[in-house]
Chains A and B, each alone.
Chain A
Amino acid sequence: MKTGGFSQIKNLCRKGHGHFLSAFTERTAPKADGQEISLDQAIDRAGEILRKAERPLLYGWSNSSLEAQRVGIELAKKLEATIDDTSSFCQGRIMERILTGRLPTCTLDDVRNFADTSIFWGSDPSNSHPRLLSRFAYYPRGEKRQKSYEEERTCIVVDVRKSATTKLCSNYFKVLPGGDADLIASVIAVLEGKIPKFGDKKLMIELGAILRKTEFGVLFPGLGILSSLTDKMDLLESLIAKLNELSAFKVIPTVEHFNTRGFNKLLLEDAGCINRAFFQGGKAIHGPQMSVSIASKKCDAALVIGSDPLSSLPFGTARSLAKVPVIAIDPHRSLTTDAAKVVIPSAIHGLEAGGSAVRMDGVKIDFDPILTASTLSDVQILGMIKEAI
């Protein structure tokens, strides 16, 4: 480390490495209509756009601190706006079941200390969460798992493709796109001692045998299983309930962003729903109409924070957002900041800005900045916009 920066970085995962290097690339500057302006002017323009908007949308939030998310929810109430986060298109339906107690969960420390079976269903942590296997799910010697992956831990992958994670796990079960519901039905049948209707019967019986021997299991679902189950999420609940008749079996969704769960938790506590909310008269209305997909087509202005929906969301949603005045709060240039009416640069969380967040397993983490920031944090920017309104 050197004052205000760093001279070299070691022992980071590839995602962390990219995160550090991003401190020096594609940084944003305050802009309006493509012209550089002062930060104060950008805040004023943002306030003006939101003040005039009749149907504003506030989107992003999963890469913001809890403190910023709280201000964002207050802002949504003040503006009578629609507010949604990235879980709307990702693991929201599983996260909702976790946060409302419909699916049992545990911490990653529990996984490290007690888990003997981990199932990565439609998830590929080697690419999405590169320390999950090494720190928690497979390789570490936990309190009750001293013999770890050599003898005591089993990893199972269910996926449409042989992902990088399948190369580390000896148990791979292939599923066709949209075939997850049938596979779950087969697993439940095997656990009940019945003949499975779908899939390779021998493989299903092998999977059933592993699950029957499990003492403490954890399912790490990814977008793959969510996309496939659509309106059959109850099947997932049935599978977990069946597994819990045999042993302890928990669920931890492998969410993509560092504070998705934080936003979902805050909004649930405040408004009774985890995402897709529209505030009117201090009350929240929840439903698919408030998803970014539909709200982007009806809004007359949008504030996007810590997210690049023009890159990460389907073309129709991206095109809708590109056509309304967008206020983009982001440390980095993106398609969304390129299209934005107003760009407000923000400090990078964990590097230049501190705060707190809720990890994907529900553990609250406080973090401090390690670099000197040349711009404000999300929470400071949102506070100023709130005042400007």
Chain B
Amino acid sequence: MESTVTIATFRDIFQNEAEKKSRYSEEYRGLSAQIILDKQDMANLGVKDGQNVLVKNEVGRIVVTAKTSEDDPHPGLAFMVKSPWSNHLIEDDICEMSSPEFKKTSVQVSPSGEDITQISELYLRMKA
């Protein structure tokens, strides 16, 4: 089971506070490594709140927690807090008139039995 969705990133003040205290904390990872999906997309994927999903595209792949959106229906559109996890999926090719697609990145989402991607793993991939 796999769905293609567009990710728009956003800011979260609780995650921001956790980041200021420590980027390496469980609190920061918990508030960062999650994707907020439309109720219908959650149903299509067969996942429930708190289950892990693989989110990938041609840029990268991460495993994060799925969370059901409380917003009005927005099938095909997902939200992630801006973080090293979301940035792992963002293309960085830019031109004078554009910035990276922090607000409109296409990804494939599928249920996953893997553990949440650790920040240490993201770091190792950058160094590789």
Contact = CB atoms under 8 A, between A and B. Distances in A.
Contacts of A178: 104
Interface residues of B, number: 51
Nearest to A287: B96
Interface string B103-128: 11000000000000001001101110
A34 to B, nearest CB: 12
Contacts of B90: 314-315
A224 interface: yes
Instruction: Find the residue from A308, A315, A319, A322 having the highest chain B CB count within 10 A.
Output: A315
A231 B89 CA distance: 23
B10 A163 contact: yes
A291 interface: yes
Contacts of A102: none
Contact of A227 (B16, B24, B88, B101): B101
Interface string A1-45: 000000000000011011101100110000000000000000000
Interface in A86-132: 89-90, 93, 122, 124, 126-128, 130
B116 to A, nearest CB: 17
B91 A291 contact: no
A127 B94 contact: no
Nearest to B100: A314
User: On chain A, which size bracket covers the interface?
Assistant: 35 or more
Nearest to B13: A127
B13 A130 contact: yes
Contact of B126 (A15, A25, A160, A319): A319
Contact of B23 (A89, A177, A311, A339): A311
A177 B104 contact: yes
B87 A312 contact: yes
A337 to B, nearest CB: 10
Given A161-B10, A322-B126, A335-B123, A288 B95 contact: yes
A361 interface: no
A375 to B, nearest CB: 18
Contacts of B87: 311-315, 318
Interface string B67-80: 00011101001010
A311 B92 contact: no
A224 B71 contact: no
A322 B24 CA distance: 18
Interface in A230-281: 230-231, 233
Contacts of B17: 14-15, 17-18
Given A17-B17, A18-B21, A339-B127, A315 B59 contact: yes
A148 interface: no
A146 interface: no
B79 A293 contact: no
Interface string A183-198: 0000000000000000
Contacts of A311: 23, 83-84, 87
Given A21-B20, A127-B10, A322-B126, A230 B98 contact: yes
B126 A318 contact: yes
Contacts of B89: 315
B3 interface: no
Contacts of B125: 315, 319
A161 B59 contact: no
A317 B92 contact: yes
A18 B59 contact: no
B126 A26 contact: no
14 contacts: A14-B17, A127-B11, A160-B8, A160-B77, A161-B74, A177-B6, A227-B100, A293-B93, A312-B87, A315-B59, A315-B88, A318-B87, A335-B119, A338-B123
